[in-house]
Structure 1
Amino acid sequence: MADILVGTTKGLFILEGPDFRLTGPFCQGWPINHAIGRGDQVFAAGGGKWFGCGIWRRQGGDWTLSQGPFEGAEQMWSVAYDGDRLLAGSKPAYLYESLNGGESWRRLDALTDQPGADTWMPGAAGLTLHTILSDGKGGLWVGISAAGVFESRDGGQSWQMRNRRGNRPGPAGALPRDWGDGNEFRQEDEIFSCVHNLAFGAAEGLIYMQNHQGVYRSRDGGAVWEEITEGLPSTFGFPVGAHPRDKGTLWVFPLNGDAIGRYPLDGRALVWKSTDGGETWQGKGQGLPAQDCFFTVLRQGLSVSRGTPCAVAFGTNSGSVFVSADEGETWREAARHLPTVLSVEFMQ
């Protein structure tokens, strides 16, 4: 099984090998919102009020810090491979690229120069660019809370908003937006869609999304979203993960709701799995806490490996990391008593 990168509020930890040997904390105790890695290389994005913002890089055994220049950023929130370059997202929601392996960065202004960007509304954690997907062929998709999904087909030189729905429930139009404040936006309003997480499915154009209002599937690169929440115990959750080879298999972690605790329903931890693209769902809890469970799994807190069978891992705000070696059927606790887990990623 690949090593697991665990970003926390007090640095980056790594779970190594089949016995999940814990190493760290790395990055001098910086809050690490997200990390990726392959080979002997790791990139970890984070920072905050007391540290500034930056991206840590491990090459071999040595760690170095790049602080940009990340013009306008308060904190780095995401990092992704895009062919020969690296991409990073920040709070507030800017997109940056590095063409020299993370040594220096520049901002890609086309995303935030588009019409309407000056009206984007921050979510509870601020206006964050938390998810970046790349198809390696010029196609990019980013998730911004609470502005929505945006797509570029030219590597980030131009962008289109992708927040339209086209099936049950209700008519075609914008994705629903109701945050419990009585101010649901009109069907024609595409902005302010609160995307929580995105994952590529194993087919051309297939993307799965966990939104503030439910779980969605797009089969055309985000142009139209179909709701697939039916069968889940709630509409609210943060992460979504997808199988690297089976287009119908995905995993989500529903929580009891936005304003009533954000913990597993009835205090029982279940990862919900679908093998038919979200048409039906099954709760998988063997090895997970069956009662008195009140943790939260955050938006970057679930990851799927590329192994055969693929492994699935998630981390909690109570400092545990759970891992499944059999595609989510059974689980074991691989680490506990860590700081709040902000992200989990398998090494590539």
Structure 2
Amino acid sequence: MTERAWIASRKGLFELLKRNERWTIGPVAFLGEPVSMVLADPRDGAVYAALNLGHFGVKLHRKDAGAEHWVEITAPAYPLKPENSADPVDWTVKFIWSMAYGGTDEPGVIWAGTLPGGLFRSTDRGESWSLVQSLWNAPERSEWFGGGYDVPGIHSICVDPRDSRHVLVGISCGGAWVTHDGGSSWALSAKGMHASYMPPERGDEQNVQDPHRIVGATGTPDQLWCQHHNGIWRSGNFGADWHEVSAAPLSNFGFAVAVHPTDGNTAWFAPALADQTRIPTDAALTVSRTTDGGKTFTALRTGLPQQDCYDLVYRHGLAVADDGCTLLMASTTGGVWLSENAGDSWRTISSSMPPVYSVCFG
């Protein structure tokens, strides 16, 4: 039963609880501090919160199931940069942009994607971390560039529920990469995507793509969805190749995407106007939903602000619960909405929260 969700914001981590059939904002942790990412691990009930404290650096905390307090744990960190390195990138974690838990056969394994483009893996629930050197040392990394930030970053981590060693990551801007051996080796996996912001002769290059978010369904793991800078793409073979979806209403630009946990044909998006505008079409907030793999879409508006609305939903600002019906969405201007009927209607949880970076159930 879906009874709890988390809202990571610029001024703390808010707990959302369902009590007496009604969702209400509950306790807040790290009040006043920017929480960039929250991850609820269903394997053991632990919750992870990543903080970006500016001058004091990136911090990571964990709250175990049944625990009363959060415990600070080790944050991912790069090794010392070799003195003779020609790499212009500063080897310092600027931001934890994504987190994912490993497979059921890998208790304790947690993945973290960071700016400037590093992927980290922990085998002990975040007590220690290792940089995935094979991806960091890929020659193609020299061509990655920032998409939304000054440096590239890993915002999506998809672990194949059938094989924990099979992992796909999304990079802005560096395309999609896949490993079949738990991270020992990697290969580009963005075939079919197109970057119209590049010179025409380079638009199809896999290493310059800007996938804004890539997610999949545990029940139909081959089916992945990508909200790209230039549209929406879908894969039916865990990212081996991608096909553009052109039927999206209003706009095919946006950042967030959520996928039904057992039906990979059903997905939700938060469309916006590109590029510099980045507001909802006609200043009216809409969620678009497909239930047939992208052949058709429905624009869902009931309960969402339809006038003078300038909310943008970040990459991790839209989530669907395990029941496939309960959705949570939050925006850069502090709006929080919840639906319990697959998006057909929404109710406002808050219109005055701090800017929201990430939401999740669990």
TM normalised by structure 1 equals 0.91
Q: Deviations over 1:172-208 (max 9, x none)?
A: xxx22123xx734525522110010011034241100
SS of the aligned residue for 1:154 comes to: coil
Write the mapping of 1:229-240 to structure 2, written as runs, cut at 5 A: 229-240=246-257
1:245 aligns with 2:270: no
| Cα distance in 1, alignment partners of residues 71 and 201 from structure 2 | 45
Distance 2:250 2:208 in 1: 25
The equivalent of 1:49 in structure 2 is 54
Once residues 187 and 317 of structure 1 are traced to their aligned partners in structure 2, the CA distance between those partners, rounded to angstroms, is 30
Q: Say which of 16, 25, 30 aligns to 2:28.
A: 25
CA positional deviation for 1:312: 1.1
Tell me if structure 1 keeps the 8 A contact 2:248–2:288. Answer: no
Give 1:20 deviation, angstroms.
2.5
Letter in 2 for 1:330: S
Instruction: Write out aligned runs for 1:70-89 (5 A).
Output: 70-71=77-78, 72-83=92-103, 84=107, 85-89=109-113
Which residue, 229, 235, 242 being the options, matches 1:218?
A: 235
Gaps of at least 5 residues in structure 1 are 166-174
- Aligned position for 1:5: 6
Offset of residue 66 of structure 1: 2.4
Amino acid aligned to 1:127: P
CA RMSD of aligned residues (A): 1.7
Q: For residue 251 of structure 2, give the secondary structure of its aligned residue in structure 1.
A: coil
CA contact (8 A) 1:45 1:78 kept: no
Structure 1 SS opposite 2:139: coil
Instruction: Give the match's secondary structure for 1:50.
Output: helix
Q: Deviations over 1:8-51 (max 9, x none)?
A: 11221111124333234313533222211146521012314223
2:73 to 66, 78, 84: 66
1:208 aligns with 2:225: yes
The Cα offsets for residues 200-226 of structure 1, whole Å up to 9 and x where unpaired, read as 034241100000000010001111111
Report the 3-state secondary structure (helix = DSSP H, G, I; strand = E; otherwise coil) of the residue aligned with 2:282.
Answer: helix
* Contact 2:15-2:25 at 8 Å conserved across structures: yes
Q: Is the 8 A contact 1:55 1:76 kept in 2?
A: no
2:140 to 116, 125, 131: 116
Task: Please tell me whether residue 330 in structure 1 is matched to residue 335 in structure 2.
Answer: no
What are the superposed Cα offsets for residues 122-165 of structure 1, whole Å, 9 maximum, x if unpaired? Answer: 11223111111112411111111111111111111111111111
Q: What residue is the counterpart of 1:160 in the other structure?
A: 187
TM-score (ref. length: structure 2): 0.88
Q: Equivalent residue for 2:84?
A: none
Deviation sequence 1:258-287 (CA, Å, 0-9, x none): 11x211101111100001001101100111
Q: Do the aligned residues in 2 keep the contact of 1:132 with 1:143 (CA within 8 Å)? A: yes
Q: Is the 8 A contact 2:196 2:203 kept in 1?
A: no
Distance 2:183 2:123 in 1: 14
Question: What is the alpha-carbon distance in structure 1 between the residues aligned to residue 33 and residue 118 of structure 2?
Answer: 20
Tell me the secondary structure at the aligned position of residue 111 of structure 1.
Answer: helix
Alignment match, 2:119: 95
Specify the alignment match of 1:316 in structure 2. Answer: 331
Cα 1:245/1:186, change in 2 over 3 Å:
same
* AA aligned opposite 1:4: A
* Paired residues of 1:196 and 1:239 also in contact (CA < 8 A): yes
Q: Of 263, 268, 271, which residue of structure 2 is paired with 1:254?
A: 271
Do the aligned residues in 1 keep the contact of 2:250 with 2:271 (CA within 8 Å)? yes
**Which residue of the partner structure matches residue 281 of structure 2?**
265
Distance (whole Å) between structure 1 residues aligned to residue 131 and residue 54 of structure 2: 21
